[in-house]
Structure 1
Amino acid sequence: MTQEEEAQMAEILDRLEPRFGSRELAYVWYSGEPIVGFAGRTVMQLVREGHADWVHRHIDAVDAGIHS
């Protein structure tokens, strides 16, 4: 994992931790839950592919009630 990927992961986990109640549970989702609308890729895969911005937009959309 590159330093950029580590930084993106930390930023995303910071956003997700309050939702999941712990950083560990947020990481389980980050690393293992396929995301609908992204061809079944996980957040980790998207970050590794250079698409952390897509993840942030997805989180924003969920917060706005657009996705669930």
Structure 2
Amino acid sequence: MVQAAKAPIEAGSLVLTYMDRTGRIAVDQLADGFGMSKTQLAETAGLARETLYRVERSRAQRTQGRLREMLEIISRVSDWAGGKEQAMAWYRAQPLPAFGGRTAEALVKDGKAAAVRDYLDHMAVGGFA
């Protein structure tokens, strides 16, 4: 399987906020930061519940990638959404017309985070939904 290159992390990104010294997303801090249990966080990211309770699985590349994608999207909308909590609510509940009314959460769970990022980039430069 060919791995896509990771995009550089923008300054002020939520990814940096929740990254530990090893460069991994710190699951406990992330869950606490959004007032969620690890079970709720796993569900939001489209991961199995046990994944975030087992250290070796929470550090796996797939898990870390999914959490990073979720945080990148939430970070991109947090300014205009009114903060990270509102951005999380948008991520979980706002239907996106360009994707048949699916939410960013549903799209990330289906492996379409890049499409959501492209959509947000398009909207940021004045594009239409």
TM-score > 0.5, shorter chain as reference:
yes
Is 1:17 paired with 2:78?
yes
One-letter amino acid of the counterpart of residue 53, structure 1: A
Amino acid at match of 2:111: G
**Counterpart check, 1:44 vs 2:105:** yes
Counterpart check, 1:60 vs 2:116:
no
**Aligned amino acid, residue 62 of structure 1:** M
Unaligned runs of at least 5 residues, structure 1: none
Which of the numbers 96, 117, 120 marks the counterpart of 1:35?
Answer: 96
Which residue pairs with 2:5 in the alignment? Answer: none
Gaps of 5+ in 2: 1-46, 48-62
Counterparts of 2:84 and 2:76 in 1: how far apart (Å)?
10
Report the RMSD for the aligned CA atoms in angstroms: 1.2
Give 1 or 2: higher helix fraction.
Answer: 1
* 26-35 vs 13-22, greater mean Cα deviation: 13-22
> Normalized against structure 2, the TM-score is what?
0.50
- Of structures 1 and 2, the one scoring higher in RCO (CA 8 A, sep 6+) is 1
Shift of 1:3: 3.0
Percent of pairs with identical residues: 34
The residue type paired with residue 57 of structure 1 is D
Bigger Rg, structure 1 or 2: 2
